[in-house]
Amino acid sequence: MMGRVGCIDIGTVTCRLAVADVSEGRIRHLSKRSTIVDVGEGLTATGVIGEPARQRLLACIDGYLVDAREQATPVICCTLTSAARDASNSDVLLADLAARGLEAQVIPGEVEGQLTLLGVCQDFPGRLVLAADNGGGSTELALGRLSGTGLEAKAVRSVDVGCRRITDRFLMAGDPPFAADLSAAHDFAAEPFNKAVAELGLREAGAERLVVTGGTVTSLVAIKARLVPYDSKYVHLHELTYKEVEELEGLLAKLTVEERMQLPGLQSKRARVIWGGVVAVTELMRATGFDRLTVSESDLLHGLALTVDAVCTAGASPVMWEPKLARLV
């Protein structure tokens, strides 16, 4: 029997909607919408979600709820990640979402990592992979595999390194960035990645590949291939070598924000934060020792959809967390 579920993921930079048809634990059809609302704009400096960002997000949510209802989506879950974890006024945003009928949840980084691992592993059944969800405020590292008994998450860690966080700390003064700021940004990203990799023993774990999700890596593939319009089928499971990432970083570091906005394949609203994201990906690859990564679009949203369906049909979650569901129809 096919079940339809909806998921909203509110990240630091993007807000995304997925409506998925799930059968026998597999996603058979998925429609996605992604909007750059930049809810984390100014958060590093102020510690709060600003009013312009809040209004952008709520307008986006209102549109997503209309979309989900038009698709006859019976239930929907809503999660918030790094920005909401950091902001001192997240309760205001949660109240806004509750007023719209959503049972929104601010999820810990470790849950975010498990959900991403669940999504990523759909393409690599039985194989040990290291999944990395590189977002705006954090990067989740999750080592594990999907076996006949379910998801085996062997190690999960959330690291406070993301494109918006790096941009706000180091890359706002110069346009293009100053050399000293570039070096400081790399040092900032390297330290927590190296610490997490060492403490979790990720270099010795024997993962077959590094699989990375998030807007930075999908944008890098699109920039490299000059994808206009964006083609998710081309991007999904595309590989990038360390040398290619390093070359793209060098290209972006020489450009102003205005010049980046003109790059074929890059969303103009991502132009300011893309370089910070590449810094994070470069240091992630250095720390883990992988000379290539696989880009995946089977990400947190996929894991959320599978988890919601499992709770609805079997009454049990495949990860160590259970979503709160709101009824739409």
Helix (H) or strand (E) run with residue 44 in it:
helix 43-46
Cis upstream peptide for 229 (omega within 30°): yes
CATH number at residue 48: 3.30.420.40
Q: Looking at the structure, do residues 153 and 246 belong to the same domain, yes or no?
A: yes
Q: Looking at the structure, do residues 116 and 102 belong to the same domain, yes or no?
A: no
Q: Looking at the structure, do residues 283 and 309 belong to the same domain, yes or no?
A: no
Q: pLDDT value at position 329?
A: 77
Cβ distance 295 to 248 under 8 Å? no
How many angstroms separate the CA atoms of 101 and 154, rounded? Answer: 35
Domain region containing 42: 3-108+304-327
Bridging pattern class, strands 14-23 and 150-159: unpaired
Assessment of whether the complete model's pTM goes beyond 0.85: yes
Q: pLDDT value at position 188?
A: 98
State the total domains in the chain. 2
Q: Looking at the structure, do residues 103 and 115 belong to the same domain, yes or no?
A: no
Q: Looking at the structure, do residues 263 and 196 belong to the same domain, yes or no?
A: yes
Q: pLDDT value at position 207?
A: 98
Q: pLDDT value at position 302?
A: 97
Q: Looking at the structure, do residues 270 and 121 belong to the same domain, yes or no?
A: yes
Q: pLDDT value at position 190?
A: 98
Cβ distance 134 to 213 under 8 Å? yes
Q: Output the DSSP codes for 80-148.
A: E-HHHHH-TTHHHHHHHHHHTT---EE--HHHHHHHHHHHHGGGSTT--EEEEEE-SS-EEEEEEEEET
Of 228, 236, 220, the C-alpha closest to 277 is: 220
Q: Tokens 């990860």 map to which residue?
A: 319
Q: Looking at the structure, do residues 126 and 95 belong to the same domain, yes or no?
A: no
Helix (H) or strand (E) run with residue 221 in it:
helix 215-225
Helix (H) or strand (E) run with residue 186 in it:
helix 179-200
Q: pLDDT value at position 172?
A: 86
Q: Looking at the structure, do residues 144 and 249 belong to the same domain, yes or no?
A: yes
Q: Looking at the structure, do residues 101 and 165 belong to the same domain, yes or no?
A: no
CATH number at residue 285: 3.30.420.150
Residue ranges in the chain whose pLDDT is less than 50: none
Q: Looking at the structure, do residues 192 and 288 belong to the same domain, yes or no?
A: yes
Q: Looking at the structure, do residues 188 and 122 belong to the same domain, yes or no?
A: yes
Q: Output the DSSP codes for 248-291.
A: HHHHHHTS-HHHHHTSTTS-GGGTTTHHHHHHHHHHHHHHHT-S
Q: pLDDT value at position 149?
A: 87
How many angstroms separate the CA atoms of 270 and 257, rounded? Answer: 9
Q: pLDDT value at position 283?
A: 98
Q: pLDDT value at position 1?
A: 57
Q: Looking at the structure, do residues 9 and 77 belong to the same domain, yes or no?
A: yes
